[in-house]
Amino acid sequence: MTSPLPKRPKVLDTDRIPMASNQCSWCAHLHDHQGAHRCCDAFPKRDSIPMTFWMNTTKHTSVVKGQTGTAVFELHPEAKAAGTGPKT
């Protein structure tokens, strides 16, 4: 079984936004671990994850205004099991 988690965020989409996030791509709440839609439990609409989280300039460690529910960054279970995680 291959992991849905990217090794490193290097590929850029057509908008020049990384398809993988050093924070969000490792999160258990991300909906698409290929990075195509930038949405999660907290920001469920397509491309709604704030760029400050996606670009890893702000850590999503507490609930913020505008998000849905109470989901915050939680390391994906496969990353936990492998002993890996985001580069901080």
Residue 20 CA to residue 65 CA, distance in Å, equals: 24
| pLDDT at position 36 | 65
> pLDDT confidence of 5, banded at 50, 70, 90?
low
Rg (CA), the chain: 12
pLDDT, greater one: 76 or 13? 76
Q: For the residues 61-68, what does the mean pLDDT come to?
A: 96
Mean residue pLDDT of the chain comes to 83
Sketch the domain layout of the chain as residue ranges. 22-75
| pLDDT > 80? residue 82 | yes
Report the alpha-carbon distance of residue 50 to residue 58 in Å, rounded.
Answer: 9
pTM to 2 decimal places: 0.76
Taking residues 4-8, what's their average pLDDT?
A: 53
First CA to last CA distance, the chain: 27
